[in-house]
Amino acid sequence: MHNKHMLIATIATVTCLLLVVSTSAQPSVPTDASPPSFNAPLAQEPGAGGHTVYLPLLLKSYIPVAARYKEAWKALGASAGALGNAIAADVESIHSEQRFEQGMMYWRDNATEPDYIYVLYYEDPEDQQSGTWERHDDEWEEGMPVYSCSEAEDNRPFGPKLGFGLVWCTDTDVRTGLGNAIEAEIYLDGGYQDFAGGTMLWSARGDVIYALFDDGTWQRYPDVGNRFLSMWLALGGANSDLGFPTEAAVEAPHSAQKFEGGWMYWRDNATEPDYIYALEYQSAEEQHTGTWSQHDDEWEEGMPIYSCSEAEDNRPLGPKLGFGLVWCTDTDVRTGLGNAIEEEHYYDGAYQDFEGGTMLWSARDDAVTVLYDDGTWEQ
């Protein structure tokens, strides 16, 4: 942001200088004056009593990083990182992708031929967050066989087919590195932007970004947060019911409160509303699994601390504030959780959203809680 303000100020200064009208005592600059190199810094080159102002290369070649990629680009070191600065504007277009036993393929629809096919190999087939990559021109054309080899045809309907199949069939290293296709090729929204040190690809499948570096490595963004990685892998990683993360992990304070039949967790979101999770135990003996529900935190300053007489009768435990409002107004929550058995406490916390649910971490017991989209949870 600081550099952006400097850039705007520089443009404004140059514009003002160009608008200054020379007086009659200042003859015009000779027409045969040689233009400067665009590599020259911003300067005022003196003419015969006037000024010649040159714009630097910075203003002529600046290409912004698209909003879609900016967060990942910053996380990877911004202009000082391996990707460096953008060298072309971002492009939004339809793309296709296909997953294999040990990697994936991504088809990029370029404005001019040839289109590109990226082959991404997983460093860890369970993790699927990084690895190595290579690029191939898409040389498949209408009229060519749908399946380019018997091995692909034997794996109907997955193939691979068309351009993916042509690369897979004709390049032994690709076929060996990827293994067999485990799903059909799918088409969906996508995009890309090229950088000095690589390329960023976007897929609407999970709203994920793949950063491809010129050294032949790639990294998925968002990646699984450090607090959640071991648990995610233990559950099966990318092949688990959680699937891939859809947002970056967030470190944020949270509050928690225990009840007779479960507990509540307050999640401090970056934007309103915050969330309140009500987690019920499977049983009094089994308190590491159960069912859960999510509620918006609608309590505001000025509202009663206790939202019902049942909560107030249980002073000082309540529950109070946001927890109390949910407990008092939702009969299923109140029945499922029972009465509070401790006060609400605040701790360091973290959360991360996935394709199939959410992971929560609490410093209270350094535990990770997994909330699945089917309404169940486990620790």
pLDDT confidence of residue 196: 97
Nearest to 10 by CA among 36, 46, 43: 43
pLDDT confidence of residue 246: 86
pLDDT confidence of residue 296: 96
pLDDT confidence of residue 34: 38
Per residue in 199-239, pLDDT tens? Answer: 999 999 878 899 999 999 999 988 888 899 889 989 988 88
Per residue in 72-125, pLDDT tens? Answer: 899 899 999 999 999 999 999 999 999 999 999 999 999 898 999 999 999 988
> pTM higher than 0.75, yes or no?
no
Tokens of 4: 């952006």
pLDDT confidence of residue 12: 44
How many Cβ atoms sit within 10 Å of the Cβ of residue 375? 12
Regions of the chain with pLDDT less than 70: 1-60
pLDDT confidence of residue 170: 97
pLDDT confidence of residue 189: 95
pLDDT confidence of residue 40: 34
- Give CA angle at 311 (334, 262), nearest 5°: 40
pLDDT confidence of residue 226: 86
pLDDT confidence of residue 60: 52
Q: In what order do the strands lie in the sheet with 367-372?
A: 250-251, 349-354, 357-362, 367-372, 376-378, 289-296, 275-281, 262-267, 254-259, 345-347
